[in-house]
Amino acid sequence: MVSSLSILASIAIIRSSFNEFIPQEIRSYIWEFCRRFSSELTIVVKESHEGSTNHLFNALVTYLGSNAFCSTSSSSSSSYQRRLTVGKSESMKVLTYGLDRNSEIVDVFHGIPMKWGYYADFNSTLHYESRWYELRFHKRYTDLIKNKYLPYILDMAKRIKDQNRMVKFYTTRGGRDGWSSKGQNLDHPMTFETLAMDGDLKAKIIDDIAGFIRGKEYYKKIGKVWKRGYLLYGPPGTGKSSLIAAMANYLNYDIYNLNLSAVNSDSGLEFLLLHMSDRSILVVEDIDCSIMLQNRQAGDHQQENNTQSSRPQVTLSGLLNAIDGLLSCCGNERIIVFTTNYKDRIDPALLRAGRMDMHIYLSYCTFSTFKQLAVNYLDIWDHDLFTSIEKLIKEVQVSPADVAGELMKNKDPKTSLEGLVKFLEEKKSEAKLQKPEIKSENNSLEQKAADAAFENNEEAESPKAQSTSPFENNYRVKEEFEPVLEAILSKHGDIAANCSLHSLQCRSSLLEIVCDIIQKLQATDLENLTEIQLESMLNSIQDLESMKLEVGWLRWRLEEIMQEMDKQLKGGSAETNQSNSNGKLNCFNSKSLIDGLI
């Protein structure tokens, strides 16, 4: 035992003296001479290569650092000195590890030990530190190292960086000013696990995205650019923005939010797209209303709509070329997302396969979506009130955002669900007050117009519907509304001339809503008109005005009626007020409610 210790001490002294008294150059020459008689080869990977950054060196920093705590099957690994460095940069989600100088580690690839060492030397004369890695392996594995192991390191290092880096959010600064310089860290908590969406639709989207990220070789094989487009459409509050955030977190892709109204020309759009990074998502929200991109299949569009803004802007042709022309080849692994509330407003050329490959309709809240919200907000999977809620959700149309807002009001499950039931019942009562002709799947007025336009198409097949319209503008409305519309146009002119909807069918449907309100006022009197009915009419008129229908004359009349109703309520006796508990006024006004309107 004593003799063994003295031998080890002697070896340590000799090694120390050798390193201290023999210069580095001579030591290197001696080791190089000895290696000529060895079966082991050494590869040196320096920090720079031919005057530029050595990407393999940077890949080794990431790859070996990620394996720093991994065990190795090499029995000799315990003899290597392993000192690690640790840190965290702003651009990374997790702590990053690396080898400290003059440290060694063994990596196992295909069952073969790969002996790595990390070294550094400081030149005091030049005040420069050189750093390098050394790989030692048996000569028989030379082909494996060159053809498989080193390419594997480059690929794995890229995957590790992509997985651990922070997702960035970039916004448009305008034209050739480019994107925001550094971008903001996108710390959005939404994931596919917490996204409230129909389960089958969610699974379909995840499968499509997973197929895309695995499809590099497939896209290369078929000769297409490695990109994919998604159109998200549906009523407001149905989760379009949340889905984009979930996609970004799932893929770990940066988001570039493109505001088309801030881009002054097609060349400015090209500049922006050329300065996007790979592995990114280009988002254009509300594409139908950000700028005037004319739907070329709308045969009745107004020229004045095209001149609303005199400043230069992106054209439809420029946008088409940017997302699907030769310019789209200047980048890989990109996703393009358009969002809109009204799909029919978008030119079909933007929606074809190759541009928008998958059209995703985000509907009003379903029972499946509600259950996901209940898990997220209340941490419950079942409740006695679920049956009532399922029935109500099938009868009314509310967005997931509305349901989530109700669930957030109280953390107690029973109280929260009771509040939701009350909210849904109120929505159901409001829906019953609407006439069947103007009801639709969506509560938005423009969707009502689209549905009514579809009904008009069906009616056009009958000889009755094919009769010539009595109006110069060729508006086609139901026969019962024709006299009313004729009177409106004669009195007030073409109130839909400046409407933001281009299609004659959609404009006709909006005019039917105006005619319906006139007929309701004509068929009733102040005594039998309820405040809820009047408020519903006013809301419809406000929506019509938002679409630039000239119905201010009708809004003023409704406001006058509302004021008269308030006077009657305030001036009525206690007995009268008692009789009005059902919401109707018990006074009589012999004057027609539409007197002077048409």
More reliable by pLDDT, 88 or 449: 88
Sheet holding 280-284, edge to edge: 184-185, 168-171, 254-257, 280-284, 334-340, 227-233, 358-361
Element (H, E) at 452: helix 445-459
**Residue 570: its pLDDT value, please?**
66
Is the pLDDT score of 224 beyond 90? no
Average pLDDT over residues 219-229: 88
**Residue 469: its pLDDT value, please?**
42
pLDDT-wise least confident of 170-184, 186-200, 283-297, 338-352: 283-297
CB-based contacts of 530-535 (< 8 A; 24+ apart in sequence) = 530/583, 530/584, 531/562, 531/565, 531/583, 532/430, 532/433, 532/583, 533/433, 534/558, 534/561, 534/562, 534/565
Is the pLDDT score of 448 beyond 60? no
> Using 50, 70 and 90 to split pLDDT, how confident is the model at 537?
confident
Gap between the Cα atoms of 441 and 291, Å rounded: 27
**Residue 404: its pLDDT value, please?**
92
**Residue 338: its pLDDT value, please?**
94
The one-letter amino acid code at 354 reads: G
More reliable by pLDDT, 310 or 368: 368
**Residue 78: its pLDDT value, please?**
42
Please, is 53 exposed, middle or buried when counting C-beta atoms within 10 Å of its C-beta (0-12, 13-18, 19+)? exposed
pLDDT-wise least confident of 316-320, 406-410, 582-586: 582-586
Average pLDDT over residues 311-332: 78
The one-letter amino acid code at 335 reads: I
Q: Percentage of the chain with pLDDT > 90?
A: 22
**Residue 17: its pLDDT value, please?**
65
Is the pLDDT score of 111 beyond 50? yes
Going by C-alpha positions, the residue among 414, 348, 329, 418 that lies closest to residue 378 is: 414
Is the pLDDT score of 360 beyond 60? yes
CA dihedral 234, 235, 241, 246 (to 10 degrees): -60
Average pLDDT over residues 464-477: 52
Please, is 314 exposed, middle or buried when counting C-beta atoms within 10 Å of its C-beta (0-12, 13-18, 19+)? buried
Gap between the Cα atoms of 232 and 343, Å rounded: 9
**Residue 307: its pLDDT value, please?**
45
Gap between the Cα atoms of 263 and 174, Å rounded: 5
**Residue 202: its pLDDT value, please?**
92
Q: Which residues have a Cβ under 8 Å from the Cβ of 213 and sit 6 or more positions away? A: 251, 333
**Of 367-371, 561-565, 588-592, which has the strongest mean pLDDT?**
367-371
SS3 assignment, position 254:
strand
Gap between the Cα atoms of 366 and 378, Å rounded: 17
Q: Which residues have a Cβ under 8 Å from the Cβ of 592 and sit 6 or more positions away? A: 522
Q: Percentage of the chain with pLDDT > 70?
A: 77
pLDDT tens digits, one per residue of 115-142: 898 998 887 777 788 889 999 888 888 9
Please, is 444 exposed, middle or buried when counting C-beta atoms within 10 Å of its C-beta (0-12, 13-18, 19+)? middle
Domain edges within the chain? 13-164, 168-293+313-361, 367-431, 481-568
Angle between helices 316-324 and 266-274 (to 10 degrees): 20
Is the pLDDT score of 585 beyond 70? no
| 500: its two tokens | 């933001």
Instruction: Determine the length of the chain.
Output: 598
Residue appearing with tokens 């939404």: 190
Is the pLDDT score of 409 beyond 70? yes
DSSP 382-446: --TTHHHHHHHHHHS---HHHHHHHHTT-SSHHHHHHHHHHHHHHHHHHHHTS-GGG--SSSSHH
550 φ/ψ angles, rounded to the nearest 5 degrees: -85, 85
Is the pLDDT score of 4 beyond 80? no
Query: How many H helices and E strands in the chain?
Result: 22, 15
Gap between the Cα atoms of 47 and 562, Å rounded: 79
**Residue 561: its pLDDT value, please?**
85
Average pLDDT over residues 465-471: 39
Is the pLDDT score of 336 beyond 80? yes
More reliable by pLDDT, 299 or 380: 380
Going by C-alpha positions, the residue among 58, 274, 283 that lies closest to residue 167 is: 283
Q: Which residues have a Cβ under 8 Å from the Cβ of 514 and sit 6 or more positions away? A: 485, 488, 495, 544, 549, 551, 554
β-bridge partners, 417:
none
More reliable by pLDDT, 195 or 332: 195
pLDDT tens digits, one per residue of 135-182: 988 888 899 999 999 999 999 988 888 888 888 899 887 555 678 777
Q: Taking the alpha carbons of 146, 149, 151, 157 in that order, is the dihedral positive or negative?
A: negative
> Using 50, 70 and 90 to split pLDDT, how confident is the model at 403?
very high
365 φ/ψ angles, rounded to the nearest 5 degrees: -65, 130
Per-chain mean pLDDT for the chain: 78
**Residue 303: its pLDDT value, please?**
44
**Residue 389: its pLDDT value, please?**
92
Is the pLDDT score of 482 beyond 90? no
Q: What share of the chain is helix, strand, coil (3-state, %, to 5)?
A: 50, 15, 35
Q: Which CATH architecture has domain 168-293+313-361?
A: 3-Layer(aba) Sandwich (3.40)
Gap between the Cα atoms of 286 and 339, Å rounded: 5
More reliable by pLDDT, 156 or 292: 156
Identify whether the C-beta of residue 450 lies closer than 8 Å to the C-beta of residue 342.
Answer: yes
**Of 211-225, 472-486, 538-552, which has the strongest mean pLDDT?**
211-225
**Residue 312: its pLDDT value, please?**
63
Gap between the Cα atoms of 144 and 275, Å rounded: 38
